Every structure is written in structure tokens, then in C-alpha cells.
Chain A
């Protein structure tokens, strides 16, 4: 369940916080505006975007891209709609993206497999793609791959660090992701500017 502060609009998400709203002490106040518990009202449950109850399937032979790639394609178009203030279209694109996320092919949940993909992207995937972009003078594609390659290096670094240090690595710290380029940062506060794409700290998402 989610509860909204009727003064400032702060949303308390039980799932993300890990503590039921009803278990909060009476002294608890809104972290944003200090309004008391009593100012919070339950958020009407929104219709779940995904369609988990219904059987879903994906016929991969019909499409040029895999379901996972189509998920990114459509969530990107949702963001493209948001930027143009087309909220209704953004919601519809997100619904399509959610379907493709749901039907994307199963992968082996193995962090060494993750590392091997990451290494492949750093050694071959991104350099090859950058060479093609440069050959055609496509600076947009070159820019996306330049950012992507840097992000890939940090992904590899944090996975390797986790594999050597285990849970201690993340015991008392937050994990942040730059909402523009995907840069991953481990620390209590996000960096003042994103080291990869240079956006300010408020563009970072805290992972919960």
C-alpha cells in the first residue's frame, strides 16, 4: 500500500520502505514537510500495468528484435512522449513496454554470466558499434555508445567488487543510478554531477 501526504504530496510506499504504515510510531512525521501521520491518506490502488494474471507469450520469429530489446524500445518512446508533455501516449507506450518486459526470454541468474556479457561489451560490443557510428559520421550513435561503454565499465567494476567483498560492500550505503545515462554509484549521497553524462545530482535515482 502507498500513503500520500495531503500537505506536500510525499508518498510513503510500504513495499519500498519495508515497514507497514500502521507500524510507524505516532511520533513519525512526513520526511518532506513534517506533517503528522494523521495527514496521510491511502493512495487509491492504481490498475497494475502488467497483465500477470493472463497467460502471455511472445513469438520471437515474427520480430526483428527480441522481447527484451522491444521493451527498451517502447519504454524509450514512453520517455520521448513524456518529454513532449504527452502523458496519455507515455502511459500507452509504457503498457506495451511492460508486456515485452514480462515476456522477455529467461536468462541464467548467474553473476559470472553477467560479467562475461559486460566484458564482451567493453572489449568488442561497444568498440565495434562506435567504429560503425564513426565511419558513418553518426555522432548521436557515437555519443550513446561512448556513454554506454563508460557505464559498462562501472557495472563491471561494481559486480567484481561485490564478488570479492560480498554483502560488506553494500552494508551501510545507498546505491544510485543516473536516470539519464545509467551510471551506477555506490555511496550515501549521489555525486554532484554525473561523471559520465554531467547531469546534476537530482537526476540520480536511489535504488530501494
Chain B
């Protein structure tokens, strides 16, 4: 399984053994964050670090635990209740001129969101790259939930995430929409085909996927 090195800045004591052993200069960066583009995953830095500040984390993740329908339904009910709590707290915070109440309601708004996030994870939405998450994104792109929905963000996610459990069926339109960053032309290509701008011939990084 491919792995990359990650430095825990709270543990790092800058003994710099990782700089000495890295064959690619990946650990020597101006912001102390290991350059994931340079890391080859060899793990020598993690072995050499005297503070135990580097761990090797996976790049690919296994499928999530399968969730029973009854569990999903029960978790969803809790999430709906926490969502209402969050909204009430937010509305009170926005409408009060009492500083104490505003602070308390902002705390409860935040708390309700955190609880809801934790519970929805256990309803089959733990990993962004799971079939569940990607099918939901795809569904929202195809059936927009309303005005202002950032469909471009969802489409970008669908093209950058790699499904880890084979559960993503994919968009059924069979076409992908691109915008050329050089000449601004917008065009479509069949899924699976390499996009090339019909106006100026730009490819690769000069194109942005928009749908």
C-alpha cells in the first residue's frame, strides 16, 4: 500500500535527522510540512526521527465498514434533530444583542454541527472517496437541489476523488464539460476521452472541469 510521510508539528523538535536521511529533499521545507509531491514513501525519515514526530500515512484507504439500513435510518434521525438544534441556536445568536447569550448560542451551534458530523460519519459517510459519498455528489450534480448549489464544486470532486470501494457508478450523461483557462472556451467531450480545447488546442492543466 502506498504511503507518505507526515510530520506532527506538535512533536517535532527540529533535530533534522529527517533532512539528513531523505533521498529526495521532501522533508526540508520552509513551512515544516513534508512535501507530499516529493515524498516517495520510503519511511526512512520516520525511522530516524528521535522525537517520533513522523508517521507514514496511507494514500489509499480500504472500504468503510458496511452499515445496516436500520442503523443508517437511526443515525439520520439523530442528525436531523441536531440540524434543527444548530439552526435554532444560530438564529438566536444572530438576533440577540446580549453578548453572553450570543456566545452561548454560537457554542451550541458549533457543538450541534460537530455532533451531527460525528453521527453522519457512522451512517456510511466516513470517507470522501467512498461510493456513498460519490454517488450522493453525482446525484446532486444531475438533480440540482436548488438555485445557488455549487455544482462546479461537486463536479470537480467527482473528477478528483478516486472511489475506494467500487461503489460509484458514475455520471450517466457520458459527457464532461470543460472550460479552457487560456481562451475561456467552454466545450464538452465524451467521458474517457482526453479533453483538448477546440479553440486553442490547450490540454491538461490549462483546462478546468466544470460539469
A79 and B133 alpha carbons, distance in the complex (Å):
13
Interface string of A175-208 (1 = CB under 8 A from B): 1111111111000000000000000001001011
Contact partner of B115 among A59, A99, A182, CB < 8 A?
Answer: A182
**Residues in chain A near residue B174, CB distance under 8 A:** none
What secondary structure prevails in chain B residues at the interface with A? helix
In the complex, are the beta carbons of A86 and B128 less than 8 A apart? Answer: yes
In the complex, are the beta carbons of B85 and A151 less than 8 A apart? Answer: no
Interface: A1 (CB within 8 A)? no
**Residues in chain B near residue A177, CB distance under 8 A:** 107, 110-111, 114
Q: With A92-B156, A151-B115 given, is the CB distance from A175 to B107 under 8 Å?
A: yes
A65 and B164 alpha carbons, distance in the complex (Å):
24
Interface: A29 (CB within 8 A)? no
**Residues in chain A near residue B148, CB distance under 8 A:** 51, 54-57, 99, 102-103
> Taking CB as reference atom, which chain A residue is nearest B68?
A136
Q: With A55-B148, A81-B128 given, is the CB distance from A182 to B112 under 8 Å?
A: yes
> Taking CB as reference atom, which chain A residue is nearest B146?
A57
Closest beta carbon of chain A to B29's beta carbon, Å = 14
In the complex, are the beta carbons of B74 and A89 less than 8 A apart? Answer: no
**Residues in chain A near residue B156, CB distance under 8 A:** 92
What secondary structure prevails in chain A residues at the interface with B? helix
In the complex, are the beta carbons of A117 and B88 less than 8 A apart? Answer: yes
Interface: B22 (CB within 8 A)? no
Interface string of B107-140 (1 = CB under 8 A from A): 1101111111111111101111000010010001
> Taking CB as reference atom, which chain B residue is nearest A180?
B114
In the complex, are the beta carbons of A170 and B133 less than 8 A apart? Answer: no
A180 and B133 alpha carbons, distance in the complex (Å):
21
Question: Number of contacts between A and B (CB, 8 Å)?
Answer: 253
Chain B residues 72-92 with CB under 8 Å of chain A are 73-89, 91-92
Contact partner of B85 among A59, A114, A208, CB < 8 A?
Answer: A114
In the complex, are the beta carbons of B77 and A125 less than 8 A apart? Answer: yes
Contact partner of A71 among B83, B122, B150, CB < 8 A?
Answer: B83
Query: Interface stretch among A19-27, A37-45, A138-146?
Result: A138-146
**Residues in chain B near residue A175, CB distance under 8 A:** 103-104, 106-107
Interface: B70 (CB within 8 A)? yes
Query: Interface stretch among B44-52, B93-101, B175-183?
Result: B93-101
**Residues in chain B near residue A84, CB distance under 8 A:** 57, 61, 128
Interface: A96 (CB within 8 A)? yes
Interface: B6 (CB within 8 A)? yes
A70 and B80 alpha carbons, distance in the complex (Å):
9
In the complex, are the beta carbons of B115 and A89 less than 8 A apart? Answer: no
In the complex, are the beta carbons of A167 and B117 less than 8 A apart? Answer: no
> Taking CB as reference atom, which chain B residue is nearest A174?
B103
A129 and B122 alpha carbons, distance in the complex (Å):
11
In the complex, are the beta carbons of A145 and B119 less than 8 A apart? Answer: yes
**Residues in chain B near residue A64, CB distance under 8 A:** 76
In the complex, are the beta carbons of B81 and A138 less than 8 A apart? Answer: no
Chain A residues 122-150 with CB under 8 Å of chain B are 125-126, 128-129, 132-133, 135-136, 138, 140-141, 143-145, 147-148
In the complex, are the beta carbons of A89 and B161 less than 8 A apart? Answer: yes
Interface: B205 (CB within 8 A)? no
Please report B residues at the A interface, Cβ cutoff 8 Å: 4, 6, 10, 36, 57, 61, 65, 67-68, 70-71, 73-89, 91-92, 94-95, 98-101, 103-104, 106-108, 110-123, 125-128, 133, 136, 140, 143, 145-150, 153-154, 156-157, 160-161
23 CB < 8 A contacts A-B: A51-B150, A56-B146, A57-B146, A57-B147, A70-B145, A72-B83, A80-B121, A86-B128, A96-B149, A96-B153, A105-B87, A107-B88, A121-B85, A132-B74, A136-B68, A140-B65, A140-B121, A144-B119, A155-B85, A175-B106, A177-B111, A182-B115, A184-B108
For the complex of A and B, the 3 pairs showing the least CB-CB separation, nearest first, are A68-B83, A170-B100, A56-B148
